[in-house]
A and B are shown apart, each in its own frame.
Chain A
Amino acid sequence: MTGTWELNGLLQRRLWIVTGKGGVGKTTVAAALGLLAARQGLKVLMVETHGLTHLAELFEAEGVGYEPKAFKNGLSLARIDPEPAFQEYVLRQVKFEFLYNAVFNNKYVRHFIDAAPGLAELLTIGKIWAFVEDEARRGKKPLFDLVIVDAPSTGHSLSLLTVPQVVVDAVRVGPLKNNAQQILALIRDPQRTLTWLVTLPEEMPVNEAVEMDEKLERQAKVGVGPVLLNSLWPEVLGADSLQDLKKAKVENPMLHLYRQRAEQSAFYRDRLRERLPGRQVLDLPLVYQTKHPVRIAESLSESIRAQLTGVRP
């Protein structure tokens, strides 16, 4: 999928997966996307994986766990841990809790999940699928219009998105195979699922974003939405002002550093667009006016909205 995205089209999807290299500000951008969707009136569930609590801490939300917890203004939060996901999954198949308990106690489950390769990933993506599809399969209205996943950094995200295919290939029959196929049907449907890549205007993050973009399309075969270029250097000094300062021979370390940062940022902003032709790149300037994480996310959210609707704040 290429070209220009419209906010309304993006909001019609059911699942957004936010990914990127470590340290690019993925969680803050995911929070910004959550705020954006919730402001448009959607019921949004934001999900963290692998026992992380970064989103919950950013929002200063207490008591976020495995069950979705309404937080504020249409926004709910949940955290997927492999162990309760395993219990839930097995219980769905065997139906009887006493049997489950007879078979597993927590220690065994922990070790089994550790030992069986890919199981934690499969359980996580399976639970994400359940958040999107469960109610619909029971003929009910979904609890959430949109599920947003603050996915782990690129390599681990790719494992998450490719593990259902491994299961489909490895298992000949049985419920596990059926479930893996259902998961694939959801994540590979670009009308329902989109990935958002977050990156920075620097060498390594840009290279990794370009690689990941290809892997998402070729290996994971998922739809890729706009690419979010985070922490762009704020161009507070316009070209006129720079010219004016140059004429007056103003030179000092601060101004020097400013120009260097601005140059580097602009260079990689162009490089990213060159290397991802056809992808829409949204520029998210570094927010320096506040250090409050939620306000930073709000500011980014406004910036994304403005670029997707063409309406400036």
Chain B
Amino acid sequence: MSPEAKKGVLHGLLERKKVLICCGSGGVGKTTTSAALALYASSLGYKTIVLTIDPAKRLANSLGIQKIDFQEKEIPKAELRRAGIEPKAPLFAMMLDTKRTFDDLILKYAPNEEKAQSILQNKLYQHLSNMIAGSQEYMAMEKLYEVVQERDYDLVVLDTPPSRHALDFLDAPNKMSAMVGDSVMKWFLKPSLFVSKSSLQLLDRSVKRVFKTFDKVAGFEFLQDLSQMLVSVSGLLEGFQDRAQKVELLLHDKDTGFLLVAAPQPIPLREAEYFYRKIQDNALPFAGFIFNRVQVLPEAGKPLPEGLKAKTRSEYQEMAYLFKSLAQRDEAEIEAFQRRMEFSRHGFVFKVMPQLERDIHDLEGLYELGQNLFQA
């Protein structure tokens, strides 16, 4: 077979796409898959960056660096060569950090330094910025946009943060936009309202009712804090909204592709299914599925020789049964998944990756995984 003929769907994807977004529920090997994709793409000659979250620094170690910074960092060519990889194009990695991205965004969009500091110093902001629904997802999108717009990578691979719900991620730009347009929010954003409790008198009756209700539930002072934060942030909202729309355009671009990463267990598959439908509903460019941690039936070799103890034989049979049932279970799950979704593999990535024998802890391991991913 010629090398050309061995090329898989993923090769074709690299020729067409500039942005690959890896989505999926937690614990399915999304981070490792993203890194392996990026590494292999760079070895093929694409200048690549992987944007990732790597709390345990394990990926950094696998990539042969101390830690992944919040700035782009090149994987040293010497490290790649030491691992037997000829780097045809440079490979970069960057870490996503919600809090910092959020802070950066506020500094960027605040009308002046004073206003920016008043937000950053607000105690609610400090405690809660990581709890703003969808903020992690939104910030990942934000960083993605920045990197795509301002740099000249051939390929950007985004390892998305684990969502409590797949929905959060796709809705993040919309949510941020919706916040601005909402009339309750607008009431909150009128700075004059919270100068004093007596200013309530100035409001029309229906608005007054809203605030009285909130006052009763939350207490007036808390409302003041909340309002202050929202007022401070409000100046930024239009910038946010504008940005959110651009991010949305990027997500829908034909150069972008969504890869769904799953494992063959009911819950991750259900999340993948949900995500797939969401991608279809939103008319986003779907690129394919990667199933990790699939138990493939290993070869059992020759029949057992004579002379083994009866107990050994029966335990050996149990081992064979163990592998067989795990392999059958995984195969059945993936088949049922494909049936349920009425999914045709044609033109899409549909890659079943065998369970790794060991944890990946170095560049060699990542590269091998990349090779397997790209194999036809």
Contacts and interface: CB of A to CB of B under 8 A. Distances in A.
Interface of A: 21-25, 27, 50-52, 54, 57-58, 89-90, 93-94, 99-100, 102-104, 107-108, 111-118, 120-121, 152-153, 156, 159, 163, 166, 169-177, 202-205, 207-208, 234, 236-238, 240-241, 244-245, 248, 250-258, 260, 264, 288-289, 291, 293
A115 to B, nearest CB: 5
A254 B297 CA distance: 8
Contacts of B322: 234, 236, 258, 288
A173 B128 CA distance: 19
Nearest to A120: B133
B249 interface: no
Contacts of A289: 325
Contacts, number: 208
A89 B322 CA distance: 50
A241 B315 contact: yes
26 contacts: A21-B27, A23-B263, A23-B265, A58-B266, A90-B213, A99-B213, A103-B209, A107-B182, A118-B131, A153-B162, A163-B131, A166-B127, A169-B127, A170-B123, A171-B218, A173-B221, A174-B221, A175-B217, A205-B27, A237-B318, A240-B312, A250-B308, A252-B299, A254-B301, A255-B301, A288-B329
A48 to B, nearest CB: 11
A238 B313 CA distance: 11
Given A111-B184, A170-B124, A288-B325, A236 B319 contact: yes
Question: In the complex, which range does the number of interface residues on chain B fall in?
Answer: 35 or more
A102 B206 CA distance: 8
Chain A binding surface SS class: helix
Interface stretch (B71-79, B222-230, B337-345): B222-230
| Chain B binding surface SS class | helix
A22 B315 contact: no
Given A99-B209, A103-B209, A177-B219, A240 B311 contact: yes
B27 A22 contact: yes
B299 A22 contact: no
A169 B230 CA distance: 19
Interface in B135-150: 135
Contact of B316 (A89, A121, A245): A245
Interface in B88-118: none
B217 A93 contact: yes
Contacts of B357: 257, 260
Contacts of A107: 182
B164 A50 contact: yes
The 8 closest A-B pairs by CB, nearest first: A23-B27, A22-B26, A174-B219, A252-B301, A117-B128, A118-B131, A171-B222, A241-B312
Given A172-B222, A238-B315, A252-B299, 17 more contacts: A90-B213, A93-B217, A94-B217, A104-B184, A111-B184, A114-B133, A116-B226, A118-B128, A121-B131, A152-B164, A174-B222, A234-B322, A244-B309, A248-B307, A250-B304, A260-B357, A291-B329
